[in-house]
Structure 1
Amino acid sequence: MGKARFSGCGLYRWWLLRRWDAALPPLLFIGLNPSMADGRRDDPTLRRLVGLARGWGFGSLEVLNLYSRISASPSLLRRVDDPVGAPNDHWLRRRLALQPQAVVWAGWGAGGGLDAGRLAQLAPLLRTRRLHAVGVTASGDPRHPLYVPATAVLQRWSWRDPLALGHPGQT
């Protein structure tokens, strides 16, 4: 089963869900920005996420993002006026609250530093959950799943102060 919620203009995706076995635990993934997948169509990133989630024994995958603007490339986010999308934080809070027992997988990659202030905004929310990752980047961000082997495993990821990570654009 697949579902997704988009903005009225279609430029932002608030969340995406794939469920294959309701008897198994859910997995929530927080990435950088939405790929081109929708309620019915998968793309390479989503196929990778689902493959890893199934292999780890989860029954569903919900995808949330730091930035909700749909983009094939994180670098394109720098060119838009509003890469976050005003309701995105509402949807992050709501979807995380709906599944308080779900494992939360962080995987925004080095692009999480697109705006260090954005990570600082979300730190209070994300610190309320135990986060996991499939590795870390040189800057300490949770590794993006496209850049890990198929044998990667989830491990506890400790949040660090986003303004101390040395991301470009910090004040």
Structure 2
Amino acid sequence: MAERETLVQQNTVYQGPIFSVSQQKVQLTNGKYAQRDVVRHVPAIAVLALSDDNHIILEKQYRATIGDFIFEIPAGKLDERDFDQPEHAVRRELNEELRMSAGIIEHITGFYETVGFSDAYMHLYLARQLQPVAPSDQLARDFGESLDIIELSFDDMQLLFEQGKINDQKTLTAFLYWSYIRG
């Protein structure tokens, strides 16, 4: 039977603008102690942006964490403007990253990204009826953000999936959902 650990002590060892790291001392049900390193991360959103029922818009960008380029759906962290209305972040990220707005935004699901060490939670949305944002209304991209915008058909996306080239968790989840709603 799964049993709950008891938190004995907690110490924040790093505090940054997006996440913090805590070391926890926990007592196990057998009376022994263990250490847990926990990353506390602000919630985030990700967007399955469909230009039509058969086409997705992805980003290709370099990620220092993996030292390579990756295909991703648009995403971003929530800030103080968004905690009660994550859809605000959806609209902002679509503008900043894709230079698009959406006529329809629907919440799909939410999930913990890496429960083995982090409480990072992501809300996944579907955006349809995309329209370009006028240059005068475009929001600035995050500092250092460099990306290519790619539109792919469902068949092309499925091929990338089968080749193991879609390996970002939020993008995999979005693709599986898209596959599901296509029947």
**Structure with a larger share of its residues in strand:** 2
- TM normalised by structure 2 equals 0.23
**Structure with a larger share of its residues in helix:** 1
Structure having the higher Rg: 2
